[in-house]
Amino acid sequence: MTTAPAKTILRALAGETLPTPPIWMMRQAGRYLPEYRAKRAEAGDFLSLCYNPDLAAEVTLQPIRRFGFDGAILFADILLVPQALGSDVWFVTGEGPRLSTITSPAGVAALKPADAVHDTLSPIYETIRILRRELPEQTTLIGFAGAPWTVATYMVAGRGTPDQGPAHAFKDADRAAFTALIDRIGDATIEYLSAQIEAGAEVVKLFDSWAGSLKGQDFDDFALAPTAKIIAALKARHPAIPIIAFPREAGPRYVGFARATGADCVALDQSVDAGWAAANVQRDGCVQGNLAPQHMVTGGQALVDEMRRIVAAFSGGPHIFNLGHGITPDANPDNVALMVETVRAGR
Ligand code: 1CP
């Protein structure tokens, strides 16, 4: 006989419909919090914060102390994997990430092998071990990585891009070399997420933030297939670990995504209608997300009304409350507190 896991996020991910949804928040640690900004200044720069296990654990715990979310996401970044594969990565204050660029088969071939990623990423596993000791017992620890397409868009362009143009150009010019890049990132991601799970991550999430720019066969080959491959490998090694997939702005391609990839939960951005997603996506299992992050800036009755609409739409199945994308630096922490209060008012 087995007993149901007690943590609410794990129960929802196992397919349980709860009376009120558990809640966590994308980009819970970030510049909207003064205590985050203070720790970041102490670390010196963003990457030093990611690779300092004590400080990274501290900025993960800060929003949990303040708001008491049901889940905490590890503090790290999707661009640590390119760095571990041999790309140069740095952050320009006020602008964002910069990387060396990969635009040729030789650039792909020069990347380090997947099992070498631990040399760079072992501090992240230490952050996870600290968090498992320090988090409240009801809080679920969520590990993560970028999905291969999204990570590739940064490795090819060397920076964030509005339309992922350079990655599309590489893919269209040399599909075999681009596929090799996707495979290399996928293999590294399997090693990285397995190690996160072994260190104590209880759930892992794959961020495919730029999935929406892939259409037709490209979506199948570069969003769906790499995600399915990573999930199959992780489930083979760690059968009990729930996995959240976030093919952001996939639109109609959200339909069937969980079935095709083996994901236990699909995270929804704010561009899809909650009623539509309940009928077409939640029928395959747990969903999370959908609240526009802008509500964390504007707050008020509009926030409460929109939350009630989302909760009602997803009340017939497993649901985790979350934003449709990360909270922005201009958000007001009081609105985050109001969000947590509102979702729990029914408890
Ligand atoms: O302090 C700062 O100025 C840095 C801001 C910041 C933060 C707080 C960056 C730079 N990364 C992070 C942490 C981070 N990134 C987390 C930690 C956990 C959390 O609290 O949520 C996670 C899960 C991420 C994931 C991430 N990084 C994604 C996927 C999710 C998404 O937002 O779409 C992406 C695309 C990145 C790349 C990245 N890192 C940072 C920035 C500004 C960007 C986007 C760059 C761009 O496209 O221009």
Per-residue pLDDT, averaged over 143-159, amounts to 98
**Atom 36 of ligand 1, residue of closest alpha carbon:** 78
User: Of 3.40.630.10, 3.20.20.210, 3.40.47.10, 1.10.390.10, which CATH number belongs to 8-345?
Assistant: 3.20.20.210
Q: What residues flank ligand 1, with Cβ below 6 Å? A: 26-31, 40, 46, 73, 75-79, 96-97, 144, 160, 207, 209, 326
**Atom 13 of ligand 1, residue of closest alpha carbon:** 77
Separation between Cα atoms, residue 155 and residue 102, nearest integer Å: 6
**Atom 14 of ligand 1, residue of closest alpha carbon:** 77
pLDDT of residue 1: 52
Nearest to 102 by CA among 78, 114, 86: 86
Ligand 1: residue of 25, 26, 27, 81 to mutate (most ligand atoms within 8 A of CB) is 27
**Atom 31 of ligand 1, residue of closest alpha carbon:** 209
Evaluate if residue 175 carries a pLDDT over 80.
yes
Cα 307 to Cα 213, 268, 342, distances in angstroms:
28, 14, 8
pLDDT band at 16 (very low <50, low <70, confident <90, very high): very high
- Helices 300-313, 333-344: crossing angle, 10 deg rounding: 40
CA dihedral 232, 237, 240, 243 (to 10 degrees): -40
Nearest to 84 by CA among 58, 60, 49, 115: 115
pLDDT band at 152 (very low <50, low <70, confident <90, very high): very high
pLDDT of residue 94: 85
pLDDT of residue 6: 84
C-alpha 37 to ligand 1 mean position (Å)? 14
Structure tokens at 74: 């590890």
Evaluate if residue 346 carries a pLDDT over 70.
no
Separation between Cα atoms, residue 214 and residue 40, nearest integer Å: 34
Which run of H or E residues covers position 99? strand 96-99
Conformational region of residue 164, where left means phi above 0, alpha means psi within -120 to 50, and beta covers everything else = left
pLDDT tens per residue across span 40-55 = 999 999 999 999 999 9
| Residue 154 alpha carbon, nearest atom of ligand 1 | 47
Beta bridge partners of 246: 207
pLDDT tens per residue across span 234-250 = 999 999 999 999 999 99
**Atom 41 of ligand 1, residue of closest alpha carbon:** 96
pLDDT of residue 64: 98
| Residue 36 alpha carbon, nearest atom of ligand 1 | 1
Separation between Cα atoms, residue 307 and residue 286, nearest integer Å: 17
pLDDT tens per residue across span 75-130 = 999 999 999 999 999 999 889 999 999 999 999 999 999 999 999 999 999 999 99
3-state secondary structure of 255: coil
| Residue 91 alpha carbon, nearest atom of ligand 1 | 10
For the chain, the domains span 8-345
| Residue 63 alpha carbon, nearest atom of ligand 1 | 20
Evaluate if residue 186 carries a pLDDT over 60.
yes
Per-residue pLDDT, averaged over 246-271, amounts to 98
Mean pLDDT of the chain: 97
